[in-house]
Structure 1
């Protein structure tokens, strides 16, 4: 029924104009931001999932850093243990020389001088092998009893670093004396045991280092996969959204034209009264 007091056609046209303009603005925001979800109403469930994934990715990135730092700790410890092993090898050489019957007691005294210096150097190396100011090999840090490193997104995702005490006293070297042939003979047995202990400690360090390296690789792979999953939820499909934008632009233009046409209808009806 034609009326002049209420322009229903114009109201309808304006309603569709607002809807199409909102769709156009939404598409422009998505294309400009590169994100499919700019507000919760865009995809409430997707936003919740993406937020959780983002949290996991952040945790994995830190876990990967933790694993890398753990490897650095173990590499530092292994470097110190290698030096101690070299020192013990030299000490064994001196003890072997002193144990020989061709060496006089005077010469054994000279050998003992170097031997004593090397005993002190074992402790010096053990205490001087530090990471972040913490000695790793002298048994004074928590590493001797075990330190848990977080390598995942859950508090239970840990790997323990444990480094043996390689101080001279713990290895049994500290009381050795090769100034006599009998002392040298005794030292050889103790040094063999000490060298074996250091080798065992280095094997343990190497095994832990290998585990952390594999875990770091796994963390990188998981982070990559989660990033891809998050992308599939939040990143905008530019081609599809551009098509939506083009459609919204056409509909907006059509609604503007329709609103203009609807606003002319009362004028047409008034012409009937002339």
Structure 2
């Protein structure tokens, strides 16, 4: 190569290498100071896409865990109230057993009735007042709650909490001393056209619920399975009737539909929330649309009375049925609570693993990067020195000029 002074190829080559080393040194400093391997899209475009998706999934799962914990809080609130309801029902049963003894005087039975009335009123109050974040839990108005416990938009990411069996308002209505209502077997259930409530002032109000129940009270395919026993079919029909009636806003605003166990047969009981009389109407003003022609309904189905040994025994049976209903509701709630706890544990494991996966993509290996930084730093210093030497080489031409 000739000895030129206009173009210093050695200096240009050294400068190019020094520029590359400075870029590498700058990148190492950026990674070491941020702790991230990917600080901008150009660092790793594919890795950035994957890590962003993983980050969104982790964030969603963390929110889902909080949602599941909200679900746990909701069912614990319901369970606490049902626990108190069980205590009340236990006391009611004790009173019924006490009233079954004919050694009680009239005044003693009146005292028992007074306490029982107070206890059933407290049951009704608990049922109408227990709420979570402003939503009532135990009055039958809201039967299902959906909780998003996953980060995705599919059905597997939701859990439905069914509180239809935890209707304390219905329990209280079924036991209210002196309440009025009609009790119907499943064989007597027909399409409900409407209900009429006779108010305290003597006026009547009619509520049309035919649309809500026109297809609901028939033996649909789901309730005619040959594997179901007669008792299971009986209970399933009553449950379907209650679901249809409770889902009608006009009906549920005034009436309560509950399932009762009458000597081993499940029956539908309809009562008015204000304690007024309830009759059914076929749309023309004729009572009896809930039961078959020629089959009389059973009056005063919701009463528990303590004025005689016979009525006291009947009260024991009615109270036992409600204790069983509340116990079943608590068992279901306990199972749901365990499910929420398992969801939180599963989510915690998933968050840990997904976070580790994201870390392997985005986080810098500090030890390795420190090695790169040290190498770049040494090369930067040596490159600077060599550039100074390369820039001095053209000066040797002056010696040729004498």
State the TM-score, normalizing by the size of structure 1.
Answer: 0.95
Give the number of equivalent residue pairs. 271
Q: Report the structure, 1 or 2, having the larger strand content.
A: 2
* Match in the other structure for 2:350: 222
Q: Once the 2 structures are TM-superposed, how far is the Cα of residue 45 of structure 1 from its aligned partner?
A: 1.4
Deviations 1:197-218 (A, max 9, x none): 0000000000111111101100
One of 305, 309, 328 as aligned partner of 1:178: 305
Distance in structure 2 (CA, Å) of the matches to 1:48 and 1:34: 18
Contact 1:57 1:226 survives alignment (8 Å): yes
Q: Aligned partners of 1:219 and 1:114: how far apart in 2?
A: 49
Is 1:158 matched up with 2:158?
Answer: yes
**CA RMSD for the aligned pairs?**
1.3
Q: Which residue of 1 aligns with 2:56?
A: 55
1-side partners of 2:167 and 2:84: how far apart? 11
The residue number in structure 1 matching 2:121 is: 120
Structure with the larger RCO, 1 or 2 (CA within 8 Å, 6+ apart): 1
2:251 equivalent in structure 1 = none
SS of corresponding position for 1:93: helix
Name the SS for the 2:152 alignment partner. coil
Q: Is the 8 A contact 2:130 2:138 kept in 1?
A: yes
User: 1:91 touches 1:115 (CA, 8 Å); kept in 2?
Assistant: yes
1 or 2, which has the higher helix percentage? 1
Following superposition, the deviation at residue 18 of structure 1 comes to 1.0
Ranges in structure 1 where 5+ consecutive residues have no aligned partner: none
Cα distance in 2 for residues equivalent to 1:38 and 1:169: 61
Contact 2:161 2:336 in 1 (8 A): yes
Q: What are structure 2's unaligned runs of at least 5 residues? A: 180-302
* Contact 2:304–2:318 under 8 Å retained in 1: no
Farther-moved stretch of structure 1 (165-174 vs 154-163): 165-174
1:17-70 deviations in Å (ceiling 9; x for gaps): 111011111111111111111111222111111111111110010000011110
**Which residue matches 1:210?**
338
Give 1:128 shift.
2.4
Equivalent residue of 1:153, what SS?
A: coil
Moved over 4 A (4+): none
- SS for the counterpart of 1:37 is coil
1:43 alignment counterpart: 44
CA distance in 1, matches of 2:168, 2:399: 109
Aligned to 2:100: 99
> Residue 3 of structure 1: SS of its match in structure 2?
coil
1:217, 1:78 → 2: CA distance? 22
In structure 2, the residue matched to 1:135 is: 136
* Greater CA drift, 149-158 or 239-248: 149-158
